[in-house]
Chain A
């Protein structure tokens, strides 16, 4: 194992929802016939019906724990057993309006559950696939050969990624899970969210990223796990913020909005945000595109050299979007001295990216990864660079697919927010910001979240994901995720199979939304 000898994966523990009314796949209603006998609470092993010793009235069922109609076969099925027939069970109608075809309601709910428990959901939810009709939703792992299965425990399986493979004398940094946190700036998300993500990164022995809104001092205790992003606006970037970080990230472009810089609308530029970025309160902040100092690859090399001169141990990550010549861009970044090439595909981005950009430009990440991977292989440079993918990688299965397509690891943005109960309403930029208290700098809304909550929820989600990765690896007889890199032979795309072949694979969930 390549893990630090001393490093132990973090513990998971129950971290319940912040909201009184949780969202479940099913809804259970208790009518006035209830006599508060307490039978349902005794029966339900999932804890849907709760009853406290010192309070005899029935309380509202914890709906998201309910496994639904399949429970009918169980002797403890509350609906049938209720002496008063006071309980009714129905699919939750909210699901029809929540999420979208990529992040389906079931995928959202399942991630809430993983973040709450640290385990895979017990409720029957489809969380591996969305219904987007393309991308990762059309890609499946082939059925592994049963003889290859190796029966080893999760802790014997290596999920680490080495970030510096260049052999240039700079530190060989290893992260313990194949994911690190994407850049979300101070200004785009609430401070407790940022700090919580950093705390989680520290315990998971991975990284998170500042985004381009400056480096809040609250992150300093976790600085060995925080990437300083240098984006085109250079907001809040100072020498010391580059000296803090083990890895710095140049954000040239974002897959969600290639050809545009980051932007933060005026209403989110509160006095605190303006102070951190040293700008004017209430005035929108548009980062330019591209870097005004970088119009070519030799400028880029100079830019990389500059960072290396400020911090003599820093690793350099270059984040680019995925135009059709992304392979050339990647290899250029490598020759200019980058350690990590981070390609950001078109599915990602929060509600902040303008629709016109988000929906129309950049290559889907599942095309870009193998294109870059193979190009680097042919160049003889693949084993010298760490290839990181991002942009719409939603769940553990997507991560594994991205790795099998050729990435070493991935960057996760949205899923971490979903772990904090983001419902993907895409209103990140409106008014005071997020109704769920995540993507906001409003002092009231932002304190709906505590750092501890954010930290543990994110850890829980990744630990649940890790269980899935371990199961995939065992199936293919592998002991390390590194063995999976570039194994696109283990994947199939449903569109390229004939009908009979295709039937062998799980179809995408046929969820229809009410829009």
Chain B
């Protein structure tokens, strides 16, 4: 037995002293998913910035549990020195019964700890002022170290001499908290107090309410930290009087929030019990963090192996791993698969690694990707990494930060979804903040995937800094004249190509000038306005090389200009001759039928509710009944159901959607056209019947579930489970790829005879704005599983897709008829996105190839299971 094993066994043995006779074995609450969000930055960020994304995800919680955690805290905010902050434990104890404090301190703090500082966390006077129904517990924070003598006795008793004494101290703190919770929480009918967190330089606070209540109640608006995570809980039990079950939970130096729910709580608990670990709060989240703590602190696994133990790599992905990895992963899986959380889950972990002097934010998804998740990264003068349930919470965070600090841009440089158990990325990403080479306490953020490979953005590109005043660009006259000429002569295509041609060499000043001039021109006439919108939209939708400029900054500039043009549209209740009319939340009651030449309703969605009677989707419904057919909707921050509820036969309706649109967009549409000018969210196009949907970006989970038809064009990628249970004749072009489970149980007839199909091009724009072929056109292990109809046309010139990825489908040669079928769709794709059939799709490594050699067809076979 090696030395290491000895220590592990001694640590585990030392935990055996606790009696858990009175601890319940049953899960306390069922809870569904929730809303989770987190970010970490190279600079410290104020608590108020976790507020906005939390508010954005209100509808993912029900106000019965909210929590936040912060890591990499600011010493001066806490009134201690940096040295104390780094070396001392920050124990936070929630006193559900405030009178229990002397008793608790006497039992578990005073006898063992050298207390450097103890204080009650300041709160506002009355919890009811911010809408809380249950008074949050009094939380006391103690900066302390374990008393030297006590620690030596502990080390002596448990024979932990070979251990780093600070790690032994960690273990003491951990056990002391278990003991405290045992005495005052877990084994009592009347719960008195519990430890919220006890790590170094990390803290957790939670309430019965929404997450943002935490920042308000505990006065954290100006409290600074590198990393923040927040959680909106959705417990299905109605009456709660203390936040013991709320997230985040802590093992040692970390905080974990979780969205989802396990089917195997009991088997995970039993596994933990074998190591003398007993859950005390009885939720999935607690067992997750206990598992994490066991793997990392006791077993000493590196993060990669911990992630593998939680979310095993399976199927085709496992086959694609290097041999050496397969060998190790096989060991990990045989040891841990029985206690890997089963069911939908997504973890966000904020952690302090005091031994490596790094703060980390980690997002891990389950192998089946059953919970929504978006990652984002921005790298400039300062760097920030974000993880969230919904993209609009990321945008809200960045907008909020940018409004205060010009080093942040409201648009992230990169957005992506993790593919669970992926052989390429591992399905999880780690943002690490550590000391930078620049010294003077400055930090830098490094993003890596599970395998430690770095994820980054082009280093030669710079963000636009709007705090620096704009100087007059050299080519000012040329730009102004060209715009004027083309706008007036209605020659938009010329203007577009002028912009695309020059944008690579322009600096931000020229670009700003272009945008401002277009805004100016838009005021002249409806025609100029249409042309200006058209040009700006085109630039927003098209991916082009940006030179040394960040695409995120350019997009932000374009979107701001569009918003300016939209918001300067005449109000519905003000007289004007314009074909454009504006309506927003405040003026929604002025909605009336279009008069005279009025044609386009511009809807500012910003202040509308995400759903329900005050949502913008209702306004669109009413407007449609009144006779409006064309809409520009902008200002979205995740409002849902755009285009829903119009009913049957909506041909001639067109909706243009800008900004962070929400879930269920275009669901059930029958005839109308919707253009989404940016990334779209989850559950788009459910049961879609007919019509056209164009997405100038990526789409989220379960896209077009149960769709019956429609022509759909996606510039980017789709996340997990697109087109499941598709029937009828949906026809879809996806230029990127999908995470997994594309067109499972697809039943859309015979594509050559009016049925449906999906064209998967497997291409994406790289950081330089050039279209490139992806390493695999379809990385998932399940393509067209159990399908009985329809077909997938997949651009796979290198024949990377293998039989193993098809569960029930078969490869077939592409016939002339097939090509003639898909050609018009690729042609439309070319028109919409500028992805050329000849130059991009059929050109492989610079060589033109025959369609038969480039595309492959996957078709349904008659399965015994289906007859």
Chain B min CB distance to A176 (Å): 30
Given A282-B867, A295-B33, decide whether A234 and B641 contact each other with a Cβ distance below 8 A. no
Kindly state whether residue A203 has any CB partner on chain B within 8 Å: no
User: CA A428 – CA B66 in complex, angstroms?
Assistant: 50
User: Which A residues are CB-close (under 8 A) to B611?
Assistant: 302, 305, 308-309
Chain B min CB distance to A351 (Å): 19
Asked if residues A235 and B727 are in contact (CB atoms below 8 Å), the reply is: yes
User: CA A5 – CA B865 in complex, angstroms?
Assistant: 54
User: Which B residues are CB-close (under 8 A) to A309?
Assistant: 611, 615, 617-618, 640-641, 644-645
Q: Which of A278, A285, A299, A305 contacts B33 (CB 8 A)?
A: A299
Asked if residues B866 and A266 are in contact (CB atoms below 8 Å), the reply is: yes
| Interface 0/1 of A236-260, CB less than 8 Å to B | 0111101100000000000000000
User: Which B residues are CB-close (under 8 A) to A280?
Assistant: 747, 749, 788-789, 860
User: Which B residues are CB-close (under 8 A) to A234?
Assistant: 686-687, 705-706, 725
Chain A min CB distance to B718 (Å): 13
Kindly state whether residue A335 has any CB partner on chain B within 8 Å: yes
* CB neighbors of A among B623-666 (8 A): 640-641, 644-648, 663-664
User: CA A381 – CA B682 in complex, angstroms?
Assistant: 31
Asked if residues A238 and B236 are in contact (CB atoms below 8 Å), the reply is: no
Asked if residues A310 and B683 are in contact (CB atoms below 8 Å), the reply is: no
Asked if residues B612 and A239 are in contact (CB atoms below 8 Å), the reply is: no
Asked if residues A332 and B867 are in contact (CB atoms below 8 Å), the reply is: no
User: CA A345 – CA B706 in complex, angstroms?
Assistant: 27
Kindly state whether residue B831 has any CB partner on chain A within 8 Å: no
Kindly state whether residue B786 has any CB partner on chain A within 8 Å: yes
User: Which B residues are CB-close (under 8 A) to A285?
Assistant: 747
- Residue on B nearest A277 in the bound complex, by CB: B727
Asked if residues B33 and A328 are in contact (CB atoms below 8 Å), the reply is: no
Q: Which of B664, B701, B706, B729 contacts A237 (CB 8 A)?
A: B706
Kindly state whether residue A233 has any CB partner on chain B within 8 Å: yes
- Residue on B nearest A300 in the bound complex, by CB: B32
Asked if residues B612 and A305 are in contact (CB atoms below 8 Å), the reply is: yes
Chain B min CB distance to A164 (Å): 16
Kindly state whether residue A33 has any CB partner on chain B within 8 Å: no
| Interface 0/1 of A288-332, CB less than 8 Å to B | 100111011111111001101111100000000000010011011
Given A239-B689, A240-B648, A293-B683, decide whether A283 and B236 contact each other with a Cβ distance below 8 A. no
Kindly state whether residue A22 has any CB partner on chain B within 8 Å: no
Chain A min CB distance to B791 (Å): 12
User: CA A257 – CA B701 in complex, angstroms?
Assistant: 27
User: Which B residues are CB-close (under 8 A) to A335?
Assistant: 62, 236, 238
User: CA A203 – CA B786 in complex, angstroms?
Assistant: 43
Q: Which of B669, B721, B729 contacts A292 (CB 8 A)?
A: B721
Asked if residues B32 and A299 are in contact (CB atoms below 8 Å), the reply is: yes
Chain B min CB distance to A108 (Å): 33
User: Which A residues are CB-close (under 8 A) to B238?
Assistant: 331, 335, 379-381
Given A234-B705, A279-B789, A298-B32, decide whether A306 and B647 contact each other with a Cβ distance below 8 A. no
User: Which B residues are CB-close (under 8 A) to A325?
Assistant: 30
Chain B min CB distance to A24 (Å): 41
Kindly state whether residue A284 has any CB partner on chain B within 8 Å: yes
* Count of inter-chain pairs, beta carbons less than 8 A: 172
User: CA A5 – CA B18 in complex, angstroms?
Assistant: 69
Asked if residues A298 and B35 are in contact (CB atoms below 8 Å), the reply is: yes
User: Which A residues are CB-close (under 8 A) to B866?
Assistant: 266, 283-284, 286
User: CA A302 – CA B57 in complex, angstroms?
Assistant: 12
Chain A min CB distance to B637 (Å): 16
Asked if residues A310 and B644 are in contact (CB atoms below 8 Å), the reply is: yes
* CB neighbors of B among A372-421 (8 A): 379-381
Asked if residues B747 and A295 are in contact (CB atoms below 8 Å), the reply is: no
Kindly state whether residue B251 has any CB partner on chain A within 8 Å: no
Kindly state whether residue B49 has any CB partner on chain A within 8 Å: no
User: CA A32 – CA B618 in complex, angstroms?
Assistant: 78
Asked if residues B664 and A302 are in contact (CB atoms below 8 Å), the reply is: yes
Asked if residues A284 and B260 are in contact (CB atoms below 8 Å), the reply is: no
On chain B, the number of residues with a Cβ less than 8 Å from chain A's Cβ atoms is 69
User: CA A277 – CA B687 in complex, angstroms?
Assistant: 12
User: Which A residues are CB-close (under 8 A) to B682?
Assistant: 293
User: CA A280 – CA B787 in complex, angstroms?
Assistant: 10
Asked if residues B727 and A239 are in contact (CB atoms below 8 Å), the reply is: no
Kindly state whether residue B667 has any CB partner on chain A within 8 Å: yes
Asked if residues A305 and B236 are in contact (CB atoms below 8 Å), the reply is: no
Kindly state whether residue B371 has any CB partner on chain A within 8 Å: yes
* CB neighbors of B among A101-143 (8 A): none
User: CA A280 – CA B721 in complex, angstroms?
Assistant: 21
User: Which A residues are CB-close (under 8 A) to B663?
Assistant: 302
Chain B min CB distance to A439 (Å): 20
Asked if residues B647 and A233 are in contact (CB atoms below 8 Å), the reply is: no
User: Which A residues are CB-close (under 8 A) to B34?
Assistant: 296, 298
| Interface 0/1 of B813-838, CB less than 8 Å to A | 00000000000000000000000000
Asked if residues B645 and A310 are in contact (CB atoms below 8 Å), the reply is: yes
User: Which A residues are CB-close (under 8 A) to B667?
Assistant: 306
Given A239-B644, A279-B789, A332-B236, decide whether A297 and B725 contact each other with a Cβ distance below 8 A. no
Asked if residues A328 and B344 are in contact (CB atoms below 8 Å), the reply is: no
User: Which B residues are CB-close (under 8 A) to A283?
Assistant: 747, 788-789, 862, 866-867
User: CA A285 – CA B706 in complex, angstroms?
Assistant: 13
User: Which A residues are CB-close (under 8 A) to B724?
Assistant: 288, 292
Chain B min CB distance to A26 (Å): 45
- Residue on A nearest B29 in the bound complex, by CB: A328
Chain B min CB distance to A239 (Å): 4
Asked if residues A296 and B261 are in contact (CB atoms below 8 Å), the reply is: yes
Asked if residues A233 and B617 are in contact (CB atoms below 8 Å), the reply is: no
Asked if residues A302 and B33 are in contact (CB atoms below 8 Å), the reply is: no
User: CA A379 – CA B238 in complex, angstroms?
Assistant: 6
* CB neighbors of A among B666-689 (8 A): 667-670, 682-683, 686-687, 689
Given A288-B724, A295-B33, A332-B32, decide whether A305 and B640 contact each other with a Cβ distance below 8 A. yes
Asked if residues B867 and A286 are in contact (CB atoms below 8 Å), the reply is: no
Given A283-B788, A310-B645, decide whether A301 and B370 contact each other with a Cβ distance below 8 A. no
User: Which B residues are CB-close (under 8 A) to A235?
Assistant: 706, 727
Chain A min CB distance to B861 (Å): 11
Asked if residues B687 and A266 are in contact (CB atoms below 8 Å), the reply is: no
Chain A min CB distance to B684 (Å): 10
Chain A min CB distance to B266 (Å): 12
Kindly state whether residue B335 has any CB partner on chain A within 8 Å: no
User: CA A235 – CA B644 in complex, angstroms?
Assistant: 18
User: CA A292 – CA B236 in complex, angstroms?
Assistant: 21
Asked if residues A239 and B788 are in contact (CB atoms below 8 Å), the reply is: no
Asked if residues A296 and B259 are in contact (CB atoms below 8 Å), the reply is: yes
User: CA A364 – CA B687 in complex, angstroms?
Assistant: 34
Asked if residues A308 and B865 are in contact (CB atoms below 8 Å), the reply is: no
Chain B min CB distance to A68 (Å): 48
Given A233-B725, A243-B647, A283-B788, decide whether A288 and B236 contact each other with a Cβ distance below 8 A. no
Kindly state whether residue B453 has any CB partner on chain A within 8 Å: no
Asked if residues B789 and A284 are in contact (CB atoms below 8 Å), the reply is: no
User: CA A311 – CA B645 in complex, angstroms?
Assistant: 7
User: CA A293 – CA B720 in complex, angstroms?
Assistant: 10
Kindly state whether residue B737 has any CB partner on chain A within 8 Å: no
- Residue on A nearest B343 in the bound complex, by CB: A295
Chain B min CB distance to A240 (Å): 4
Known: A295-B344, A302-B664, A305-B640. 19 other contacts (CB 8 A): A235-B727, A238-B670, A238-B687, A239-B689, A278-B708, A278-B729, A283-B866, A283-B867, A292-B705, A292-B721, A293-B686, A293-B702, A309-B617, A310-B644, A331-B238, A332-B236, A335-B62, A379-B237, A379-B239
8 pairs, A vs B, C-beta closer than 8 Å: A280-B749, A280-B860, A284-B865, A286-B745, A296-B371, A325-B30, A331-B236, A335-B238
Instruction: Please give me the 5 A-B residue pairs with the lowest Cβ-Cβ distance, nearest first.
Output: A297-B32, A234-B706, A296-B33, A332-B236, A296-B32
Interface residues of B (CB under 8 A from A): 29-35, 59-62, 234, 236-239, 259-261, 344, 370-371, 611-612, 615, 617-618, 640-641, 644-648, 663-664, 667-670, 682-683, 686-687, 689, 701-702, 705-706, 708, 721, 724-725, 727-729, 744-745, 747-749, 786, 788-789, 860, 862, 865-867
